[in-house]
Structure 1
Amino acid sequence: MRLHRLRVTAFGPFAGTEEADFDALSAAGLFLLHGPTGAGKTSVLDAVCYALYGGVPGARHGSVPALRSDHADPLTPTEVRLEFTVAGRRLEVTRRPEQLRPKKRGTGHTRDKAQSWLRERGPDGWRALSRSHQEIGEEIGQLLGMSKDQFCQVVLLPQGDFSRFLRAGAEERGKLLGRLFDTRRFAAVEERLAELRRTAEKQVTGADGELLALAHRMAQAAGDTGSDGLPLPGAAPGEPGLAAAVLEWAAVARAGARERRDIAAAAARAAEDAYAAARREHESVAELARLQRRHADALARSAALEEAGPERERVRARLDRARAASRVVDALELREETGRAHRAACERERRARGRLPSGAAGEGAARLAELAGEYRERLGGLAAARRAEQRAAEIAAERAALDREAGTDEDVLAETADWLGRWDSVRAEHQRRIEEAQEAATRAESLAGRIEPAERRLRAAERRDDLTGRLGTAREHLLRAREQAAEAKRRWLELKERRLLGIAAELAAGLTPGEPCAVCGSAEHPRPARAEADHVDRAAEEAAHDAHQRAETAREEAERHLQSLRDALETAGAEAGEEPADRLRELAAELRHAHAGARATAAGALDARAALEHAEQEHARRLEGRRDAERRAAARASRRDALDQELHGIEAGLAQARGGAATVAERAGQLERRAAVLAEAAEAVRDAEAAAERLKEADARLADAAYRAGFDTPGDAAGAVLPDSGWRELQHRLDRWQAESAAVAAELADPDVAAAAARPPADAEAARAALEQATGRLRASSAAQAGADGRCAELDRLSARALEGARRLAPLREEYERIARLAGLAAGTSAENERRMRLESYVLAARLEQVAAAANTRLRKMSAGRYTLVHSDARTSGRGRSGLGLHVVDAWTGSERDTATLSGGETFFASLALALGLADVVTDEAGGTRLDTLFIDEGFGSLDEQTLDEVLDVLDSLRERDRAVGIVSHVPDLRRRIPVQLEVVKERTGSAVRHRSPGAGG
Structure 2
Amino acid sequence: MRLHRLEVTAFGPYKDHQVVDFDVLGSDGLFLLHGDTGAGKTTLLDAIAFALYGQVPGARGEVKRLRCDTADGETATSVVLELTVQGQRLRLERSPEYQRPKRRGDGYTTQQAKASLTWIGGAPTEQSPESLTRIDEVGRTVQRLLGMTVDQFFQVVMLPQGEFARFLRSETTEREQLLEKLFGTQRFAEVEQWFVERRRERGRVVEEHTQRVRDLLARVSQVSGTPNSSEVDDQDWLADIEKRAQRELEHAQAEHSRLRRERDTAEATLTERRELAEKVRRVKQAREALAELDERKGEHDAWRAERDAAHRAVPVQAARRTAERAEQERDRARAEVATCATRCSVDPEADLAELRDRAAAERERAGALTALIPQAQQQETDQHRLAELAERIRSDEQRETELVAEQNGVPERVSAARERVEEAKHAELRLETVRTRGEELEALLGVAREIPGAEAELARAKESAQQAVDAHQQARDALQDRRARRLAGMAAELATQLADGEPCPVCGSAEHPSPGQPVDDQVSAEDEQAAQAAEQRAATTREKTAAAAQQAQQHVDNLRERLGEHTESELAAELDQLRAEQNRLRETAAELARRNTELAELEAATGRLGEQLTELRTRLAAARSEHAGLAEAIEERRARLLEGRGDFGSIEQRRAHLLDSASGLEELIAARTARDDADQRLTRQLAALAEAASGAGFADAEQAKAAERSEQRLAELDTAIGEVEQRAAGARETLASAELFGVEPDTEVELQAATEAAGLAREAAERAAALAHRAEQRQRELAELAEKLRAAWAELGPAMAEQAELEALADVVNGRGQNARKMSLRAYVLAARLEEVAIAATRRLQRMSDGRYSFVHSDAAGARGTRGGLGLDVLDDYSGKVRPAKTLSGGESFLASLSLALGLADVVAAETGGALLDTLFIDEGFGTLDADTLDLVMDTLDELRTGGRVVGLVSHVEEMRQRIGTRLRVTKSRKGSTLTVQT
Counterpart Cα distance in 2 of 1:665 and 1:122: 119
Counterpart Cα distance in 1 of 2:904 and 2:842: 11
1:931 to 890, 912, 917: 917
1:972 to 925, 934, 958: 958
Counterpart Cα distance in 2 of 1:610 and 1:898: 103
1:803 to 790, 808, 820: 790
Q: Call closer, same or farther: CA 1:913–1:190 in 2, change over 3 Å.
A: same
1:207 to 199, 206, 209: 209
Q: Is the 8 A contact 1:5 1:82 kept in 2?
A: yes
Post-superposition shift, 1:836?
0.7
Q: Call closer, same or farther: CA 1:737–1:87 in 2, change over 3 Å.
A: closer
Q: State yes or no: 1:887 paired with 2:876.
A: no
Post-superposition shift, 1:807?
3.1
Counterpart Cα distance in 1 of 2:135 and 2:68: 23
Q: State yes or no: 1:989 paired with 2:978.
A: no
Question: SS where residue 793 of structure 1 aligns?
Answer: helix
Q: Is the 8 A contact 2:922 2:952 kept in 1?
A: yes
Q: Is the 8 A contact 2:217 2:228 kept in 1?
A: no
Q: Corresponding residue for 2:94? A: 95
Post-superposition shift, 1:670?
10
Q: Corresponding residue for 1:286? A: 274
Counterpart Cα distance in 1 of 2:815 and 2:899: 31
2:245 to 257, 261, 266: 257
Question: SS where residue 951 of structure 2 aligns?
Answer: strand
1:813 to 771, 788, 800: 800
Post-superposition shift, 1:385?
5.7
Structure 2 counterparts to residues 190-205 of structure 1, below 5 A: 190-205=192-207
Post-superposition shift, 1:248?
6.8
Post-superposition shift, 1:746?
6.5
Q: Corresponding residue for 2:779? A: 792
Q: Corresponding residue for 1:577? A: none
Q: State yes or no: 1:244 paired with 2:195.
A: no
Letter in 2 for 1:14: Y
Counterpart Cα distance in 2 of 1:863 and 1:266: 104
Counterpart Cα distance in 1 of 2:9 and 2:42: 16
Letter in 1 for 2:133: R
Q: Is the 8 A contact 2:182 2:908 kept in 1?
A: yes
2:265 to 277, 293, 309: 277
Post-superposition shift, 1:532?
15
Q: Is the 8 A contact 2:372 2:644 kept in 1?
A: no
Post-superposition shift, 1:950?
1.8
Question: SS where residue 843 of structure 2 aligns?
Answer: helix
Q: Call closer, same or farther: CA 1:310–1:900 in 2, change over 3 Å.
A: closer
Q: Corresponding residue for 2:32? A: 32
Structure 2 counterparts to residues 539-550 of structure 1, below 5 A: none
Q: Call closer, same or farther: CA 1:612–1:666 in 2, change over 3 Å.
A: closer
Counterpart Cα distance in 2 of 1:850 and 1:892: 24
Q: Corresponding residue for 1:899? A: 885
Q: Corresponding residue for 1:7? A: 7
Q: State yes or no: 1:826 paired with 2:826.
A: no
Post-superposition shift, 1:729?
7.8
**Deviations 1:670-709, CA, capped at 9 Å, x for gaps:** 9999999999989989999x8999899989x999xxxxxx
Structure 2 counterparts to residues 179-194 of structure 1, below 5 A: 179-194=181-196
2:228 to 228, 231, 238: 231
Structure 2 counterparts to residues 543-942 of structure 1, below 5 A: 617=625, 621=629, 625=633, 629=636, 740=731, 744=735, 750=741, 753=743, 761-830=748-817, 832-927=818-913, 929-942=915-928
Q: Corresponding residue for 1:73? A: 72
Q: Call closer, same or farther: CA 1:639–1:682 in 2, change over 3 Å.
A: closer
Counterpart Cα distance in 2 of 1:640 and 1:696: 65
Counterpart Cα distance in 1 of 2:323 and 2:2: 150
Q: Call closer, same or farther: CA 1:270–1:820 in 2, change over 3 Å.
A: same
Counterpart Cα distance in 2 of 1:612 and 1:728: 93
Post-superposition shift, 1:835?
0.9
Question: SS where residue 62 of structure 1 aligns?
Answer: helix
Counterpart Cα distance in 2 of 1:696 and 1:157: 141
Counterpart Cα distance in 2 of 1:834 and 1:678: 136
Counterpart Cα distance in 2 of 1:730 and 1:448: 114
Post-superposition shift, 1:826?
1.0
Structure 1: tracts of 5 or more residues without a match:
234-241, 356-374, 420-425, 460-476, 510-527, 563-597, 642-662, 704-713, 998-1002
Q: Corresponding residue for 2:121? A: 121
Q: Call closer, same or farther: CA 1:67–1:311 in 2, change over 3 Å.
A: closer
Question: SS where residue 165 of structure 2 aligns?
Answer: helix
Q: Call closer, same or farther: CA 1:74–1:337 in 2, change over 3 Å.
A: closer
Counterpart Cα distance in 2 of 1:548 and 1:308: 144
Letter in 2 for 1:167: R
Q: Is the 8 A contact 1:103 1:110 kept in 2?
A: no
Q: Call closer, same or farther: CA 1:913–1:686 in 2, change over 3 Å.
A: closer
Counterpart Cα distance in 2 of 1:318 and 1:622: 94
Question: SS where residue 61 of structure 1 aligns?
Answer: helix
Q: Is the 8 A contact 1:193 1:823 kept in 2?
A: yes
Structure 2 counterparts to residues 272-671 of structure 1, below 5 A: 272-290=260-278, 293=280, 298=283, 379-380=352-353, 383-384=356-357, 387=360, 617=625, 621=629, 625=633, 629=636
Post-superposition shift, 1:827?
0.5
RMSD over aligned Cα atoms: 6.3
Counterpart Cα distance in 2 of 1:839 and 1:173: 16
**Deviations 1:950-977, CA, capped at 9 Å, x for gaps:** 2222222323343322222232332223
Post-superposition shift, 1:882?
2.3
Post-superposition shift, 1:944?
2.2
Q: Which moved more, 1:92-101 or 1:860-869?
A: 92-101
Letter in 1 for 2:250: D
Q: Is the 8 A contact 2:180 2:830 kept in 1?
A: yes
**Deviations 1:900-936, CA, capped at 9 Å, x for gaps:** 2222222211121111222222222233743222222
Question: SS where residue 19 of structure 2 aligns?
Answer: strand
Counterpart Cα distance in 1 of 2:566 and 2:322: 146
Q: Call closer, same or farther: CA 1:970–1:747 in 2, change over 3 Å.
A: same
Post-superposition shift, 1:179?
1.7
Question: SS where residue 66 of structure 1 aligns?
Answer: coil
Q: Is the 8 A contact 1:5 1:21 kept in 2?
A: yes
Counterpart Cα distance in 1 of 2:726 and 2:616: 118
Structure 2 counterparts to residues 19-58 of structure 1, below 5 A: 19-58=19-58
Structure 2 length normalisation: TM-score? 0.65
Question: SS where residue 889 of structure 1 aligns?
Answer: strand
Structure 1 length normalisation: TM-score? 0.63
Q: Corresponding residue for 1:362? A: none
Letter in 2 for 1:788: A
**Deviations 1:613-660, CA, capped at 9 Å, x for gaps:** 56974796389559x73x985x8999999xxxxxxxxxxxxxxxxxxx
Letter in 2 for 1:273: R
Post-superposition shift, 1:987?
2.0
Q: Is the 8 A contact 1:31 1:979 kept in 2?
A: yes
Question: SS where residue 846 of structure 1 aligns?
Answer: helix
Counterpart Cα distance in 2 of 1:612 and 1:981: 95
Q: Is the 8 A contact 1:34 1:982 kept in 2?
A: yes
Question: SS where residue 874 of structure 1 aligns?
Answer: coil
Counterpart Cα distance in 1 of 2:543 and 2:729: 165
